[in-house]
Amino acid sequence: MPHYLMPDNEQLFVREFGQGQPVLVLSGLGMQSWQWLPFLYRHAKTHRFIIPDWRGFGASQGCAIPELDAISSHWRDIDSLIEQLRLNDIVVIAYSMGATTAMHGMQYGNFSEQIAAYLHIDQTPKISVDDSWDYGLFGPQHQLFISILTELSQLLAQHQHIQYIKDLNSQARGQLAKLWLEFIGLQNSNRYSLKAFEWVLNQSRLQSLLLPSHRVDYMAWYINNYLYHQEDYREALQKLQCPVTFLSGTQSRLYPVKGQTLIAESITHAKQVRFEKSGHTPLLSEPLKFAREISAFLKANAAHQP
Q: What is the CATH number of the domain that holds 284?
A: 3.40.50.1820
Q: Quick one: 29 and 162 in the same domain?
A: no
pLDDT computed for residue 254 by the predictor: 87
Q: Quick one: 46 and 71 in the same domain?
A: yes
> Is 132 inside any structural domain?
no
> Is 134 inside any structural domain?
no
**Better-predicted residue by pLDDT, 168 or 231:** 231
Q: Quick one: 155 and 193 in the same domain?
A: yes
| Cβ-contact 243, 117 below 8 angstroms | yes
> Over 90: is that where the pLDDT of 197 sits?
no
Domain final residue pick, 228, 244, 273? 228
Which residue range forms the structural domain that includes residue 205?
139-228
Written as one letter, the residue type at 183 is F
pLDDT computed for residue 192 by the predictor: 45
> Is 22 inside any structural domain?
yes
User: What is the rounded (10 degree) CA torsion for 290, 294, 300, 305?
Assistant: 180
| Cβ-contact 121, 96 below 8 angstroms | yes
> Over 60: is that where the pLDDT of 31 sits?
yes
pLDDT computed for residue 208 by the predictor: 60
Q: Quick one: 67 and 154 in the same domain?
A: no
What pLDDT, in 10s, does the model give residues 127-138? 999 999 999 988
Q: Quick one: 213 and 240 in the same domain?
A: no
Q: Quick one: 108 and 223 in the same domain?
A: no
pLDDT computed for residue 306 by the predictor: 43
Q: What share of the chain is helix, strand, coil (3-state, %, to 5)?
A: 50, 20, 35
Q: Quick one: 78 and 9 in the same domain?
A: yes
**Overall domain count for the chain:** 2
> Is 131 inside any structural domain?
no
Taking alpha carbons only, the member of 16, 282, 233 closest to residue 112 is 233
Backbone angles phi, psi at 230, to 5 degrees: -120, 15
> Over 90: is that where the pLDDT of 196 sits?
no
pLDDT computed for residue 304 by the predictor: 45
Domain final residue pick, 165, 199, 228? 228
Q: What is the DSSP letter of 54?
A: P
> Over 80: is that where the pLDDT of 125 sits?
yes
Taking alpha carbons only, the member of 55, 11, 66 closest to residue 30 is 55
Task: Give the CA count within 13 Å in the CB-facing half-sphere of 82.
Answer: 25
What pLDDT, in 10s, does the model give residues 53-86? 999 999 999 999 999 999 999 999 999 999 999 9
Burial class (CB in 10 A: 0-12, 13-18, 19+), 306: exposed
Q: Quick one: 200 and 98 in the same domain?
A: no
Distance from chain centroid for Cα 147: 21
**Mean pLDDT across the chain, nearest whole number?**
90
What pLDDT, in 10s, does the model give residues 268-302? 999 999 999 998 999 999 999 999 999 999 999 98
